[in-house]
Each structure stands twice: as structure tokens, then as C-alpha cells.
């Protein structure tokens, strides 16, 4: 059998194949009112199409643990029970198609309160409908961006609790995988990196202090998440800075600590915390960072980043560089990519009976 179509088991959960959908923001939820942050028909259709297309694990977009944790006013959230009920419709359908429903829980930190990409992506000031942003230090992401208020230790503890509450609601909503977003320059990543973390207290300075917030979130989530279901952690393995940033060495070191705290898989991406950096984009450009974690630790890993062809994905797994692949924009272009890959590689995917006559 193709390595891409071998089932994969973490704790008691078996994912039917290694073709997984990465979290991708849709910027399409209601911004205000009783349904703010709740998924609706667009989110259902978007996620359901990838399930009927044979994707093994489907991870929602970055889903905010609080209103202030949203990237944009139109992000999804899981801070109330209205959102939980709306998500149940989606998780029921994904599960019925044989896909595993996963959710990425997140806080955008200093990169919160921004417009959607098609509206320019720039910051929204509080007087224009945005809100005040927070971070480990009062260092804006880029020139012209909002200056974050430095979180107090009480504020840090409150956000740790929000992650735990979000995980509890995610379980109630029917999700079987919860992923903590520690990448792309959002709040957890901001604490990890010395580029954005200039604190001098117990949450800044040394590596041990900078990873404290991430480990506290993991512990809080693991405490409310069932022992028989997996927790993922998304990491930016490098800031792509020559000095003064988070590095591949840091990522390998953190992987072992996350494993000891109950994380089951590291979702390895890069970048997002430093503006204006040059990233060497090419097919599979982030795979070596996943491979480095896999070679240097016992942490299972998933690779992501310009993985577009079935043979390319198969090679990543058969070479032992990762345990699964996460597709993003390629699944926007082709919701049935998994089925195409199965045909090319000799694998199998579940086909809805309504579509069976086409195969």
C-alpha cells in the first residue's frame, strides 16, 4: 500500500490516511451579534467538500479562544456555546464521511485586529471597529501596526484558562483532535521568539522562560482533553532571521519538552513573526524542518508547505521525513486531491455512496 494511504494511529484515534488539511482562515464569520465567530453555511460547505474528497484529517482555521484573540473581526471562535452548537453540524458531517474533525485553537496576540487579506490585511484601530491588542512585549509586528499592551502575569494566566475552556468546548462540539497554534507570529509564537519577547520576568529572557507560556497552555489543554485523544502543536520552526529569532535548534529542543507534556504530534511550519524577511519558497521548502524534528526526537511530525503532487507527498513519507502531510492551498484548488492521489499511487479512500458510480 502507498505510505500516503496507510492509516495512522495516535492514542486511541486512527486517522484513515496521511493526507491532512491544514488550518486556513476563511475570514467569513459574522463579526458582531449573537452569531459572531460561529461557523455558517460557507464553513460547512468548505470543510465538507474536503471530507467528501477523501481527506483523512480536517483541521479548522485558526479558531479564536476569545474575541480579542481573533486575527480579523470575521474569524471563527470557540468562546461560547452558540459557536459550539454551530460546529456540531460540521463535525457530525465530517465524521460521517470517514474524516477526522480537528480544530486549531489560537490567540492572534499582536497580529490581531486586522482586515481580511482581500481588504488589504492591515491593522484596524479600535476607533474603526478593531480592538486593543496584547503581546509579550510592547513591540508591534511591523511599522504601522498596533502596539500591543504587554501582558501582565494575571493576563497570561487568563489566556491560559481561555485555551483550556476552548479545548473543553471543542470536545463538546465533536472534535477529535485539538491543535494549539504556536506558529506564524501569533501569541504563543511571540512568547517563544526573542525577536518579539523582550520581557525580563519569568516569561522572558532565557529559552526556559520563553517556552513557559506554551507549556502552561499545553498542560491546561491536556488536563481537560481526554487521555485517549491526541493534542497537536503547530510550530514555526524558524523565524528566518540570521540572529535574534526562534531557530530550528530551538524547535528540536521544544519538541522533546512538548512530548513530555502530552503533545502527540508537531505540525511543522515556519515564519510569520518577523516582517520583511526573505523566505526561500520552493516545493517542500519546510519539509527539512519537520525531518529534523523527526530525526532528532521521538515526536511524530506532519510536514506542510508547497506540497502539491501525490508523488512528492509519497516520497516525504517513504523517506521518513514526516509521518503525514498537511495540504493547504492545494486543497483550495482541488478538494478531492486525496482521491486523485489514491488513483495515482494505488491507494484507497472512502467514497460517498452518492458518488460511487463515478469510480
DSSP string, 71-101: SSTT--B-SSHHHHHHHHHHHHHHHHTTPEE
Cα angle vertex 196, ends 131, 206, to 5°? 135
Burial (CB count <10 Å: 0-12, 13-18, 19+), residue 206: exposed
116 vs 240: CA distance, rounded Å: 24
pLDDT of residue 356: 87
First to last CA, the chain: 19
Q: At what angle do helices 212-224 and 153-172 cross, to 10 degrees?
A: 30
pLDDT of residue 78: 98
Active site residue 27: no
pLDDT in tens, the chain (359 residues): 899 999 999 999 999 999 999 999 999 999 999 999 999 999 999 999 999 999 999 999 999 999 999 999 999 999 999 999 999 999 999 999 999 999 999 999 999 999 999 999 999 999 999 999 999 999 999 999 999 999 999 999 999 999 999 999 999 999 999 999 999 999 999 999 999 999 999 999 999 999 999 999 999 999 999 999 999 999 999 999 999 999 999 999 999 999 999 999 999 999 999 999 999 999 999 999 999 999 999 999 999 999 999 999 999 999 999 999 999 999 999 999 999 999 999 999 989 999 989 88
3-state percent breakdown (helix, strand, coil) of the chain, nearest 5: 40, 15, 45
Q: Spell out where the chain has E strands.
A: 8-10, 13-15, 19-21, 57-64, 100-106, 134-135, 149-150, 177-182, 231-236, 265-269, 301-304, 324-327
Cα angle vertex 131, ends 130, 136, to 5°? 130
Over the stretch 196-214, which tens digit does the pLDDT of each residue have?
999 999 999 999 999 999 9
Q: What residues form DSSP beta bridges with 182?
A: 235
Q: What residues form DSSP beta bridges with 303?
A: 268, 325
Cα of 282 vs its chain's centroid, Å: 21
Which letter does DSSP use for residue 136 in this model? S
Is 231 in a helix, a strand, or coil? strand
- The 10 Å Cβ neighbour count of residue 356 is 8
270 vs 116: CA distance, rounded Å: 21
Over the stretch 128-164, which tens digit does the pLDDT of each residue have?
999 999 999 999 999 999 999 999 999 999 999 999 9
165 vs 76: CA distance, rounded Å: 15
pTM over 0.85: yes
Architecture of domain 3-358: Alpha-Beta Barrel (3.20)
Catalytic residue among 186, 203, 207, 355: 186
Domain ranges of the chain: 3-358
260 vs 266: CA distance, rounded Å: 13
Amino acid at each position: 500500500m502507498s505510505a500516503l494511504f496507510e492509516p495512522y494511529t495516535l492514542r486511541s484515534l486512527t486517522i484513515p490516511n496521511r493526507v491532512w488539511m491544514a488550518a486556513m482562515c476563511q475570514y467569513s464569520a459574522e463579526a458582531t451579534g449573537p452569531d459572531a465567530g460561529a461557523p455558517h453555511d460557507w464553513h460547512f460547505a468548505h470543510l465538507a467538500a474536503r471530507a467528501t474528497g477523501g481527506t483523512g484529517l480536517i483541521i479548522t482555521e485558526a479558531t479564536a479562544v476569545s474575541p480579542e484573540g481573533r486575527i480579523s473581526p470575521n474569524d471563527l471562535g470557540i468562546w461560547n456555546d452558540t459557536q459550539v452548537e454551530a460546529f456540531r453540524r460540521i463535525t457530525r458531517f465530517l465524521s460521517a464521511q470517514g474524516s477526522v474533525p480537528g480544530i486549531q485553537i489560537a490567540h492572534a496576540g499582536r497580529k490581531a485586529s486586522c482586515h481580511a487579506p482581500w481588504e488589504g490585511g492591515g491593522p484596524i484601530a479600535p476607533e474603526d471597529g478593531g480592538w486593543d491588542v496584547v503581546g509579550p512585549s510592547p513591540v508591534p509586528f511591523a511599522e504601522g501596526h498596533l502596539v500591543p499592551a504587554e501582558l501582565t502575569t494575571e493576563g497570561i494566566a487568563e489566556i491560559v484558562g481561555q485555551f483550556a475552556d476552548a479545548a473543553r468546548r471543542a470536545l463538546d462540539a465533536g472534535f477529535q483532535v485539538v491543535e494549539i497554534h504556536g506558529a506564524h507570529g501569533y501569541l504563543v509564537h511571540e512568547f517563544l521568539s526573542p525577536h518579539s519577547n523582550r520581557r525580563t520576568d519569568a516569561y522572558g529572557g532565557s529559552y526556559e522562560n520563553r517556552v513557559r507560556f506554551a507549556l502552561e497552555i499545553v498542560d491546561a489543554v491536556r488536563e481537560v482533553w481526554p487521555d485517549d485523544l491526541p493534542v497537536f502543536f503547530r510550530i514555526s520552526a524558524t523565524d528566518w532571521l540570521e540572529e535574534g529569532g526562534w531557530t530550528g535548534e530551538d524547535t528540536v529542543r521544544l519538541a522533546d519538552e512538548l512530548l513530555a507534556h502530552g503533545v502527540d504530534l508537531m505540525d511543522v511550519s515556519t515564519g510569520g513573526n518577523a516582517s520583511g524577511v526573505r523566505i526561500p519558497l520552493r516545493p517542500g521548502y519546510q519539509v527539512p524542518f519537520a525531518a529534523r524534528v523527526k530525526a532528532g526526537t521521538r515526536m511524530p511530525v506532519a510536514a506542510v508547505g508547497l506540497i502539491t503532487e501525490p508523488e512528492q507527498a509519497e516520497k516525504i513519507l517513504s523517506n521518513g521525513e514526516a509521518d503525514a502531510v498537511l495540504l493547504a492551498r492545494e486543497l483550495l484548488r482541488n478538494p478531492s486531491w486525496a482521491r486523485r492521489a489514491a488513483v495515482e499511487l494505488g491507494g484507497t479512500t472512502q467514497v460517498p455512496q452518492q458518488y460511487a458510480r463515478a469510480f
